[in-house]
Amino acid sequence: MMHASNDNPVLDNPRLAELTSWDAPWSGLRAVVAGIGVSGFAAADTLIELGALVTVLDSRDTERNRQSADTLKIVGASDVVLGSDAMTSVPDVAGARPDVVITSPGFPPTHPLLAAAREEGIQIWGDVELAWRVNRRAGRKTPEWVCITGTNGKTTTVGMTASILQAAGLKAVAVGNVGTPILDALRDPVEYDVLAVELSSFQLHWTHSVSPLASVVLNVAQDHVDWHGNFENYRADKSRVYENTRVACVYNAEQDGAEELVEEADVLEGCRAVGFTTQTPGLSMVGVVDDLLVDRAFVAERATTAAEIGSIEDTGSIPTRHIVANALAAAALARAAGVSPEAVRDGLRAHRPGEHRIQLVAESDGVRWINDSKATNPHAAQASLSAFDSVVWIAGGLSKGVTYDTLVERNAGRLRAVVVIGTDDAALLDALSRLAPDVPVLAATPGQGGTAPDDSGIDPTDGHAVMRRAVRLAREHAEPKDTVLMAPAAASMDQFADYADRGNAFMHVVHEELGF
């Protein structure tokens, strides 16, 4: 199987090799937990419950982190260190060197703490690796894992998968990068049958031994180059989701190189490759015939027949091509877990998508206003831009080292105007000037180029003020039958707390400006 690098070697450590269930000898293990956010807190809390000696580090000395630190000290943490110098080196734990470092997903392999641990030969796990190692527990049902990754569509697909599994009568929940730590689900009084696990490339980089029932890479496009160093490393880390898969490796049959990732994966004997496509499916695929979703993978006579598992209408109120693709991927994962065709249909109908993903905000004077704040990279923005014929596009933010040429070139003909938000827009503006020279480009952020005047008096870092200006500029240029689409193709943290804050700001301003 492809691996990103030797950043995360599996070291020969007999102490750690024993730790393969909740009931293993965790007591006395010395662990450093890097980060005290949601995943770090869950990891530290779990390890303390298991009897490990735990030191927690975080460079941010905030009120929230101080409260979390107090809680962990009460339940038995050996130490919690906050502040700018907390994560520059690997500390002792209870007077001795640690056995393992548990890292939160956001820290790249180049982080000084992780680099120091690697140099010293200390094993590094992510919270997902820890969760897998405590997945089995005496006296409790062991949940199966179906694992979902991809540049885009992860949260939608994991939600659809959980909904289908629940429609089949299984106790299932969406966990992982979707927001609920896997460790919290494993400690829940509810004994789950299946966990639908969303995994980011960051999380996958730090996994060693996860063995899911089924897994999928939805798509791979340029993203997080700054974290991984280059696209090849990013793609390799995404491919880790297939490692040790037992029943089905699900892949995107419409993406070049996707099946190759499955072919290169080190899977368990008997695991099958199952493709998904928004076209007519081939053998061992799920796909679309007319307006129906069909399965030619998990039926007895798949060479000559297909099972109907739903319709395009079942996938949502705006069934764009990539939403249909997500639904098919979810269906394949659920079918691998033994779910009936009827449960797939019922689960898709019951699924309620989260906010900020091609979300209809308002319709007024013949113009639709769509919030796709979760489009944090060009690949995600392409999925939504391609769904509409004439667009006033609100875009921009932190680019994360990606390029915009392909996105702009593909969509120049559908752009009525582009309103640019964000403070890191040089690459986007350059692509627009070269590849869509006739499209009006308007700067909502003062000083970022475009043709809008710079006399607004707006603080460039005040995202909510910038968004108000962006909506007003979009309204001035939108015509009946247009769609105003806020799909930034960039991260949000230059002007907003996160993509949800950006999406909420857009929805709030649209409702105010349109009088809703």
Q: Annotated binding site for ATP: which residue ranges? A: 150-156
Structural tokens at position 113: 């703490």
Q: Which helix (H) or strand (E) holds 147?
A: strand 144-149
- Give the position of tokens 């944090």: 376
- Edge-to-edge strands, sheet with 483-486: 359-364, 367-371, 483-486, 391-395, 415-420, 441-443
Please report, for residues 77, 352, 494, the alpha-carbon distance to residue 442 in angstroms, rounded to integers and kept in the order given.
52, 34, 19
Relative to beta strand 194-198, strand 144-149 is parallel
Binding residues: 150-156
Could you tell me which residues are beta bridge partners of residue 310? 293
Helix orientation angle between 321-336 and 341-350, rounded to the nearest 10 degrees: 130
Can you spell out the DSSP letters for 305-331?
--EEEEEGGGG-SS--HHHHHHHHHHH
Structural tokens at position 287: 């796909």
Phi, psi of 53 (to 5 degrees): -95, 120
SS3 call for 362? strand
Relative to beta strand 307-311, strand 415-420 is unpaired
Please check whether residue 331 is in contact with residue 295, taking contact to mean a CB–CB distance below 8 angstroms.
yes
Please check whether residue 269 is in contact with residue 305, taking contact to mean a CB–CB distance below 8 angstroms.
no
| Residue (of 43, 22, 23, 42) closest to 32 by Cα position | 43
Sign of CA dihedral 222, 419, 398, 512: negative
